[in-house]
Structure 1
Amino acid sequence: MSTSSVSKGCFVFKPSAKKKQKTLGVEDYFIHGCEGTENSEQRFKLCQDLWDKMKTDTEVLQDELNRKILDSLLEFTRKCSSTFQRGADDWAARMRASEIPTAALVLGVNVPDHDMTFQSLSDLLQQSVTPHVASVQAKECGALKHLMQRVLERLMNTVVSVDEDDEEAEQTSTQLHKKGVHCSLSTLCDWYKTKTMKSNTDTPGKKRSSPVKDEHQQPPVVVIFKDLEAFNPRVLQDFVLICSRYVEHLPLMFIFGIATSPSTIQHMLPHSVSSLLCIELFQSLSCTQHLATVIDKLVLTPQFPFKLSGKVLQVLISIFLYHDFSVRNFIKGLQLALLEHFHSQPLSVLCCKKKEALVNVMQLSHQDLERVRQLPSFRRYVEKQEPQEQVNLLTDDTRIKEVCQKLIKSLRKYHKNYYPILRCLHTLTSSLPKYPLGKQIRELHILCLEKNVWENDEYQSAMQLLKMLAKDELVASLQRCAEILKPVKSKKMRNVLVQLEDLLAKFNQLDKASGETTANGEDISSPGKSLQKKTDLFQLQKTLLEMKESRRSKKMSQFEILRNEALEFIDGLVRCHLSPPESQTLSEVCYYSSSAVLRRHLNATPRTTIQTALSNPYHYLQNDSLRTEDGTVSNCAPDICIVYKLHLECGRLINLYDWLEAYATVVSAAEGKDPDSDDFGKVDEVKHARFIQAVSELEFLGFIKSTKQKTDHVARLTWGGC
């Protein structure tokens, strides 16, 4: 359709009867650009099923970790509610003193995780204590009227409008208007009384045998401040002062979400205000303990076939430790690694349960089998085979499928044996001085993923320290190892458990033998006892020489022999079962190792990105007219790119007029003007406005700033090029 007209106008065309464009789903985005599209749908389903299982386990785990602190808060609210309903003397004293029960919940600096905790707390409060719960955040409560508005809206479940013009009236009486009706905390009290009376009288099947008892069935009104530190102190003070005047009629309760320290309350609220609160402190589980539990349940387990390489795990842990302490973001990083693995690795179709993986092996296409042959681990495996077997593996698809099934089973056995032995080694070494193999099991796990752990100097130091352990400490550690191995369903681990129990039995027999020797009165003499006798210098020298010779020729005790035997047994288990995953054939189908991709997605570098965009706009705009040689910028580039390039040629102070003239020259060349003409490089109003806008954008990005040294200059804040 076309329309011709002499004058400009607006023309309306009815849409043609075409089919609506299909909305792309998650699966479509996954398949788009996927490596090996022939089995992409199957891989997407495997990825989704695996993540659903991991997500469910994570949510259950987080509920268990937060259960203790949430139960304590629920008990606190129930106690305050029951005390108010009974009208006890201590509560009446608090009411006369205008004290509001307040729970100071210290959650830690992992702010992204707080939303989940507060959501669980709010749900539990509404289910078991009170339906009147309001959660507020600082970003939506910049002024007192906004805070009052949010609290009333969420408690009364209605829209509350604020008169923006009447600031003075708002500060003095804090009166709001709800749908034209005078609304304040007094109105909230009236609403609350109506609500509680209605719920007490309208309860079906309930006889009103005791009107006084029914009258006091008043659930508390809980206000949750999610991020206390971010609130305006003045707004918070005024809100507490206003609420303290209504506590005799309204059972208010506060919950303060604190990220730093409980002393924040004293810093934000003066004593005259904090004295109106009856504060009780609650401390949540530290985020590092939370992370250790998540890694233990999601990473250090053979339950999930998907695994992380040492570098990838190190990236996720580094982001956690040095950026946000957020377990939630760690789990998101794990989800991204899972998605990237199934999206970029066509053979991830084998990253599933053993039975399903064995079936999928037999369904691999010839192209997939060629991908298997190109795997570094499989090529190493082929090189170790006989010549005829090598030919069969490289040419016969049926034979390679049979071998792949055996290798998948072997990989599953490796994981079943790896994690119990890893836990045993961590149990033995986590209490050693200076923690040579790390204090946390994740540190030991990363060491084992990178290379043979027994080749590290730290491992040798740990074994030397273990040889110095006392009998009680060694036996206790070996007993903990036996407890780790008992629930493991593996033939090798059952055999290891039997051998470990035999060693423990020998230690017990040694204790009995030493006890019998002591009971029979046998004295273990030592050369040092002769030093206690009165002797001369010659006799002392002779005795010392005898002691030195006896130490050289001293035989090992039964305990030392048994201790060495136990440590050699542990060392053999480490060398047998803690080899790195790279030594296992087909490990690539389960292990995600692209740490650079993960770091680029999760650990953004905004400064590098901005400098790349300004110095090389073609990188993002993909316009052929912007393609230039390295170190240069096209005169057709955006104004800010031209201004940025020109400012790189200046020193610490930049003359704005010279900068403007240089910019006008470049823009004139872009417009195709003749360099010899009088208008070339001339500054007009349009160029001047464009230049000022580009300079303002550079100042906003932090490349320059105004300076008082010279009025017509700006100071440069960065050095170096792109």
Structure 2
Amino acid sequence: MATSSVSKGCFVFKPSDSRKRKISITADYFHEGKAVSENDKLRFSTYQSLWQQMKEETEKLQEHLNVKIFDSLISFIKKSHTRAQTEVNDWRYRMRCSEIPTAALVLGVNVPDHELTVQGLSDLLKQSVTPHVVCLQGKECTTVKQVLQKILVTLMGGDSNDEEEEEDVHHSVEFHQRKMICSMASLCRWYNTLTKKSTSKSPSKKRKSLLQHEEAPPIVIILKDLETFLPKVLQDFIIIASNYVQHLPLVLVFGLATSPITIHRMLSHSVSSLLCIELFQSLSCTDHLATVIDKLVLTAKFPFKLSGKVLQVLNNIFLYHDFSAKNFVKGVQLSLLEHCYSEPLSLLCCALNEASARVQNLTHDDCELIRQLSSFMAYVDRQDSEKQIDLLTNDQYLKIAVEALLTSLHNYHKNYFPVLKCLHIFTSSLPRYPLGKQIRELYITCLESNVWENEEYTAAFQLFRMMAKDELVHLLQKCLEVLQSSEHKSLTRSIETLEDFLAKFQKLDEVPVEDIEEGEEPKARSQKSLQKKTDLYQLQKLWILQTLLEMKELRRSKKPSKFEVLRMDVLEFMDKLVRQYLLLPETQALHEVVYFKAASTLRRHLNAAPRAALQIALSNPYHYLKNEALKSNGGTITNVAPDICIIYKLHLECGRLINLYDWLQAFATVVCAAEGKDSDKINNGQVDDILHARFIRAVSELEFLGFIKPTKQKTDHVARLTWGGF
């Protein structure tokens, strides 16, 4: 942290708080200082309920995705320091006695997701393997002393079992850091004392099951981000730890974002030979995202839905910024929050069993809001004149219609996603993936336009016509499983049709193919004609003529085989299924209640442009402050603007180097004109202390934002870092 600045003063660096502060969203966000209505409270509770359900689903998904790699890691750690190894007295044991068991965990480039994975691994290890788990970060361990200090403080501070002692751990951390000698020898003495106590005394309930299996649980040290550690610090720590591995059951876990080659690049051969490394590969970030989308987006379990543009924004952020499924889930949360905040009718974005009671409690103003929806007006236009009058005038009749429309919308989603998955099963098997390799790409296409109107859809069905029987049967079986898992009554007929197709394909192998008599007639005729005695010229002429006639007759008389007919029936059925169920959401009445479409709002929050926002705020403060006195024509300086805005506007009129004295005089002139002070004193070079302090503060803020910097070319000048306005 640099403390050099244009203005000299006292700089305070506050320590980071170890406790995580949770920021809670209150219902005040929904009414913006106005009187709280029941509608606002209901929308806020709707947001909380939906997000809690999504959050629980995401946590279950995270546990399910990591269960395989966690099981293999736990098995490796348990086997790393067993009694059987200590009893072995052969050359392999003597060779490995100084090697530290090390797990190289390749987590991938999605760095924001690493925290959840490492935290889940740490919690699981503490529950099932050992209570001695330490998580280290590269930014906290710049020296070997800091590494050892962090390990000792975490292990000794986290050794308490009683709840009262656990609450006082963070108060005693600083005391431990001052009193203890940071060395592996002190850690070894502490561990030996701890294991002796655990064997002599009866263990607590929390560790009873743990100590029954292993009297000396291992010490697991997790290096979250190995790439950020200094190679020199890491090498020294490994060398020191290898000298105590016979006395301490140490296990290292390296969290890697790139590849295992990083270990050998950071460590010399003599140091890496002290590690017994085993590689573990986590799930790829793209597969993680596909599972998240399948559980949160492509389901009728949650009534809240994303439009095509919103989903495209979240998809682009994932692909071009961070590859983080965690940030994708946060984007879904922000979309849900914005939808419940901006859409007054979002109180109906709930489960179908709750919607009926909420519809009956709608006020007259809520009914008028429903009548103003474009999708509802389109629904009214399709009704009879008598129903139109009732829908537009009778609130009770409107509520009955709204209940039916919400049920229809719910059934639409129940049918939509199984059919979408069936279409993706077919298209993902085609070469070059005409409709996208991932289902999210196909879903975005279906949300933005009728998929059957795209050229890619036509090209895909042309490729379907050349599909082999075994491949087609395999795809039909997958589609049948998807439709059967949906368990919706309207898809029962489609399930029966697929089962009938599969039965017909099975019969094709049992029944022999019938000869096509019509196809044999031209051949027989040509053979008879060739049997006649003719000379060479007539024979050649007759052969050419008969060949052309034969080809023409074959084209006319050739009949498709039974497989080809059955394949065409399957494709017609799939096309009919797509056109029936994959309709645009805009065709459904009241789709505005559940679909969030403000992609620009989401992009502004997630894809922030800080430099552009700063320049807009400094050049046009009215854009954010909404004060009428701050309105000004382009290029002029408003004398009532904030000091930093005046300083920014004045610095735009300067060149590469800015004279601080001239800048102060210009600032004082503008400010005194606003306050009605005498400008003669300023012309004489007299500026009061308050005005001088305001100038220094504004210049320091501008330097902090990165617009200027001190320069050594001239002592009373600063260098400008930007050019032009915005």
The question of a shared fold, defined as TM-score above 0.5 by the shorter chain, is answered with: yes
Residue of structure 2 equivalent to 1:562? 566
Residue of structure 1 equivalent to 2:186? 187
Report how far residue 283 of structure 1 moved.
0.7
TM-score normalised by length of structure 1: 0.84
Spell out the pairing of 1:223-234 with structure 2 (5 A cutoff): 223-234=221-232
1:391 aligns with 2:392: no
1:587 aligns with 2:586: no
Residue of structure 1 equivalent to 2:280? 282
**Take 1:643 and 1:292, find their aligned partners in 2: how far apart are those partners?**
50
Spell out the pairing of 1:461-480 with structure 2 (5 A cutoff): 461-480=459-478
Spell out the pairing of 1:177-326 with structure 2 (5 A cutoff): 180=179, 182-203=181-202, 217-326=215-324
Report how far residue 487 of structure 1 moved.
2.2
Residue of structure 2 equivalent to 1:512? 510
Deviations 1:558-579 (A, max 9, x none): 3222222211111111111000
TM-score normalised by length of structure 2: 0.84
User: Does the Cα contact within 8 Å between 2:668 and 2:682 map onto a contact in 1?
Assistant: no
Q: Which has the higher contact order (CA 8 A, sep 6+)?
A: 2
Report how far residue 407 of structure 1 moved.
1.0
Report how far residue 404 of structure 1 moved.
1.2
User: Does the Cα contact within 8 Å between 1:668 and 1:680 map onto a contact in 2?
Assistant: no
* SS class of match (1:257): strand
User: Does the Cα contact within 8 Å between 1:112 and 1:329 map onto a contact in 2?
Assistant: yes
Residue of structure 2 equivalent to 1:417? 415
Report how far residue 493 of structure 1 moved.
0.7
1:120 aligns with 2:120: yes
Change (3 A) 1:437 1:181: closer
Residue of structure 2 equivalent to 1:167? none
Spell out the pairing of 1:491-506 with structure 2 (5 A cutoff): 491-506=489-504
Report how far residue 661 of structure 1 moved.
5.3
Report how far residue 652 of structure 1 moved.
5.8
* SS class of match (1:102): strand
**Take 2:140 and 2:521, find their aligned partners in 1: how far apart are those partners?**
79
Change (3 A) 1:504 1:622: same
Report how far residue 80 of structure 1 moved.
0.3
1:28 aligns with 2:27: yes
**Take 2:405 and 2:204, find their aligned partners in 1: how far apart are those partners?**
66
User: Does the Cα contact within 8 Å between 2:145 and 2:182 map onto a contact in 1?
Assistant: no
Spell out the pairing of 1:677-696 with structure 2 (5 A cutoff): 677=680, 679-680=682-683, 682=685, 694-695=698-699
**Take 2:341 and 2:265, find their aligned partners in 1: how far apart are those partners?**
50
RMSD of aligned Cα (Å): 3.5
* SS class of match (2:653): coil
Residue of structure 1 equivalent to 2:552? 549
Residue of structure 1 equivalent to 2:50? 50
Report how far residue 288 of structure 1 moved.
0.9
Residue of structure 2 equivalent to 1:102? 102
Q: Tell me which moved more, 264-273 or 425-434.
A: 264-273
Residue of structure 1 equivalent to 2:17? none
**Take 1:260 and 1:120, find their aligned partners in 2: how far apart are those partners?**
21
User: Does the Cα contact within 8 Å between 1:86 and 1:216 map onto a contact in 2?
Assistant: no
One-letter code aligned to 1:287 = C
User: Does the Cα contact within 8 Å between 1:665 and 1:681 map onto a contact in 2?
Assistant: no
Report how far residue 305 of structure 1 moved.
1.2
1:359 aligns with 2:357: yes
User: Does the Cα contact within 8 Å between 1:219 and 1:251 map onto a contact in 2?
Assistant: yes
Q: Tell me which moved more, 374-383 or 265-274.
A: 265-274
Deviations 1:286-334 (A, max 9, x none): 1110010011011111111111111111122221111111111111111
**Take 2:675 and 2:646, find their aligned partners in 1: how far apart are those partners?**
14
**Take 2:41 and 2:642, find their aligned partners in 1: how far apart are those partners?**
42
Change (3 A) 1:678 1:403: closer
Change (3 A) 1:222 1:301: same
Residue of structure 1 equivalent to 2:136? 136
1:400 is aligned, of 398, 401, 406, to 398
Report how far residue 641 of structure 1 moved.
2.2
* SS class of match (2:82): helix
1:616 aligns with 2:623: no
One-letter code aligned to 1:602 = L
Change (3 A) 1:664 1:387: same
Residue of structure 2 equivalent to 1:151? 151
**Take 2:614 and 2:559, find their aligned partners in 1: how far apart are those partners?**
71
One-letter code aligned to 1:511 = D
User: Does the Cα contact within 8 Å between 1:449 and 1:581 map onto a contact in 2?
Assistant: yes
One-letter code aligned to 1:199 = S
**Take 1:567 and 1:259, find their aligned partners in 2: how far apart are those partners?**
45
**Take 1:540 and 1:679, find their aligned partners in 2: how far apart are those partners?**
112
Deviations 1:666-694 (A, max 9, x none): 3454454555x363273759677765665
List alignment gaps of at least 5 residues for structure 2: 1-22, 160-174, 206-210, 531-535
1:427 is aligned, of 422, 425, 428, to 425
**Take 2:262 and 2:669, find their aligned partners in 1: how far apart are those partners?**
57
Residue of structure 2 equivalent to 1:339? 337
Residue of structure 1 equivalent to 2:648? 644
Q: Tell me which moved more, 666-675 or 187-196.
A: 666-675
User: Does the Cα contact within 8 Å between 1:665 and 1:682 map onto a contact in 2?
Assistant: no
Residue of structure 2 equivalent to 1:15? none
* SS class of match (1:637): coil
Change (3 A) 1:180 1:299: closer
Report how far residue 203 of structure 1 moved.
3.5
Change (3 A) 1:101 1:389: same
**Take 1:199 and 1:523, find their aligned partners in 2: how far apart are those partners?**
92
One-letter code aligned to 2:66 = N
Residue of structure 1 equivalent to 2:162? none
Change (3 A) 1:180 1:389: closer
Deviations 1:381-421 (A, max 9, x none): 00111112111110011211111121111111111111111
**Take 1:204 and 1:392, find their aligned partners in 2: how far apart are those partners?**
75
Q: Percent identity at matched positions?
A: 57
Residue of structure 1 equivalent to 2:722? 718
**Take 1:412 and 1:35, find their aligned partners in 2: how far apart are those partners?**
33
Deviations 1:142-171 (A, max 9, x none): 222222111101111279xxxxxxxxxxxx
**Take 1:36 and 1:525, find their aligned partners in 2: how far apart are those partners?**
87
User: Does the Cα contact within 8 Å between 1:421 and 1:574 map onto a contact in 2?
Assistant: yes
Deviations 1:535-586 (A, max 9, x none): 9975774466346424642433332222222111111111110001111011
Q: Tell me which moved more, 500-509 or 480-489.
A: 500-509
1:82 aligns with 2:85: no
Report how far residue 37 of structure 1 moved.
2.7
* SS class of match (2:638): coil
One-letter code aligned to 2:77 = T
List alignment gaps of at least 5 residues for structure 1: 1-23, 160-175, 207-212
Residue of structure 1 equivalent to 2:637? 633
One-letter code aligned to 2:572 = E
One-letter code aligned to 1:133 = V
Residue of structure 2 equivalent to 1:93? 94
**Take 2:698 and 2:544, find their aligned partners in 1: how far apart are those partners?**
91
Report how far residue 141 of structure 1 moved.
1.7
Number of aligned residue pairs: give it.
Answer: 669
**Take 2:698 and 2:458, find their aligned partners in 1: how far apart are those partners?**
61
